Amino acid sequence: MDRAQKQILTDSLHQDLVETVCVVVTHQSGMTVDEATQLRRQMRGAGAGYRVTKNRLMRRALEGTPFEGLSPLFTGPTAIAFSRDPVAAAKAAVEYANRNTKLTIVGGGLSGQVLDEAAVKALATLPSLDELRAKLIGLIQAPATKLAGLLQAPAGQLARLLAAHSDKLGGGDGDDETAAPAAEATE
């Protein structure tokens, strides 16, 4: 790889990091091509990216980003998972690392804050942004549904009360109306 290609790669990594909220640094050793492909697919499915990195180029790409404090983590066979969703990359990486011992979580960063391995695993247990949005919509809709039910209940009760009262008052009249034609038929 010549100097121009390295600069292009560094710029690309830098741009990815600037647009990212969450970065997870991993060590992967002994992973087969199929395992790496499966991991990348899982990351893409979660809305995250995954890149195997050269440590020196990665340290250069980190300069001027909120994740500059992650530089010491880049030793050995390193790769990064990154996403705009605060938990997507962590969740996908931890989930895969739990199934495959060849991937190890080293640490990470969230909006510029450096996280250790335990913090990344804790972050992975949180609900994703989409799950939080769904819960929030559910919470907003529940009171509205209950309010609509409460507002309809008195009207329904009033209608049933009026219908019962009408039946009670009209009950005798209804019998007279059916009895009158029967009386006329007998005369």
Cα distances (Å, whole numbers) of residue 134 to 46, 86, 141, 142, 158: 16, 16, 10, 12, 36
Judgement on whether residues 137 and 72 belong to the same structural domain of the protein: no
Q: Is the pTM of this model over 0.75?
A: no
Return the CATH number at 33: 3.30.70.1730
Query: Higher confidence at residue 84 or residue 154?
Result: 84
Total domains present in the chain: 2
Judgement on whether residues 146 and 91 belong to the same structural domain of the protein: no
pLDDT digits (tens, 9 = 90+) for 22-36: 999 999 888 999 999
Calpha distance 109→39 (Å, rounded): 20
pLDDT digits (tens, 9 = 90+) for 139-159: 787 777 776 776 777 777 777
Judgement on whether residues 12 and 89 belong to the same structural domain of the protein: yes
Could you list the residue range(s) of the whole structural domain that residue 50 is in? 3-126
Judgement on whether residues 91 and 181 belong to the same structural domain of the protein: no
H helical segments located in 63-128: 88-99, 117-124
